[in-house]
Amino acid sequence: MSNDPKVQILLATFNGEKFLEEQIASILSQSYKNWHLIVHDDGSSDATPAIIRKAKNENPSRITIIEDDFITKSAKKNFKHLISHATAPYIMFCDQDDVWMPNKISATLSRMIEVEKKHPKNPVIIHTDLFVVDEHLNFISKSMFEYQKLPKKIDKLDQILVLNNVTGCTMMLNTMATRLGQTLPDEAIMHDWWIAIKTIQTGGVINLLDEPTIKYRQHSKNTLGSKKFNFRLIYKKITDLSQLKNQIIQAKKAEPTTNTINWLTKKIIVNLRRALLPTQKLK
């Protein structure tokens, strides 16, 4: 294990007592062993802090709890806080309610090392597909990319400004990509989308490991979650003015020259293509 690179797993929690123990158990069961879990709780009022402390007491060398009074009331800001404590060459984000497949770290890290050999001086993100499951872990879909009709490759700035295909709980970042997350602005929608934008913008690489490494649990308290992509969802996406406004604000923060009309046009076209066509690379 001493020759294996350290991976830090950043777990953001808030009132997650229902599923948290199962998530932590799936991390403890990883085939890759040189990992360390860093947890920050965002002011939970349920048994979440007790569950974390119990896990820490049972695995003192494996788990660090950030004990402070920093309460964000925001998953995005909680992850930014966690990123500020990351020191390992590779980090992964972790949601409190999912279940990791046993090879999640090993498979993602193997792809990371492979990609870094080709791009040794660039920010690199590795992300994966997901099993979409209900709260009892029954399968809804065996591929979130198929379920949401997401393109499997986005490598241009104008594409990623419009649509994010990178799910935070599947991401592994190298050191240069981690640094991009340390300056997460208030205008960002979520940490995963912003880091993906900045990675492409700075000449980095986003690479998909095209296999599910996680059971992505859908339940009533998901912060975002996965919804089947259809015309009803499309209508909501292109008529939700508040959501569109926030996405344009993010795009202009990342790239000030973004033209609102061009962005909106591309957004509508991309969503219509997703509804009408099988998953494919954006043109």
Task: Tell me which H or E stretch contains 132.
Answer: strand 124-133
Q: What span, in angstroms and rounded, lies between the C-alpha atoms of 254 and 157?
A: 10
Is 11's pLDDT higher than 90? Answer: yes
Q: Which residue has the higher pLDDT, 47 or 149?
A: 47
Q: Which amino acid is at 184?
A: L
Sequence-ordered list of residues with C-beta below 8 angstroms from that of 99, at least 6 positions apart, any chain: 22, 23, 26, 133, 137, 214, 215, 217
Q: What is the CA radius of gyration of the chain?
A: 18
Let me know: does 173 contact 158? Beta carbons within 8 Å: no
Mean per-residue pLDDT for 246-255?
Answer: 98
Is 223's pLDDT higher than 80? Answer: no
Q: Is the pTM of this model over 0.85?
A: yes
Domains and CATH numbers, the chain: 7-227 (3.90.550.10)
- pLDDT, position 230: 61
pLDDT in tens, 52-110: 999 999 999 999 999 999 999 999 999 999 999 999 999 999 999 999 999 999 999 99
Q: What span, in angstroms and rounded, lies between the C-alpha atoms of 270 and 235?
A: 13
Q: What span, in angstroms and rounded, lies between the C-alpha atoms of 204 and 198?
A: 8
pLDDT in tens, 23-53: 999 999 999 999 999 999 999 999 999 999 9
Judged by average pLDDT, the poorest of 10-24, 130-144, 179-193, 219-233 is 219-233
Q: How confident is the model at residue 276 (pLDDT cuts 50, 70, 90)?
A: confident
pLDDT in tens, 172-219: 999 999 999 999 999 999 999 999 999 999 999 999 999 999 999 997
Q: What span, in angstroms and rounded, lies between the C-alpha atoms of 63 and 39?
A: 8
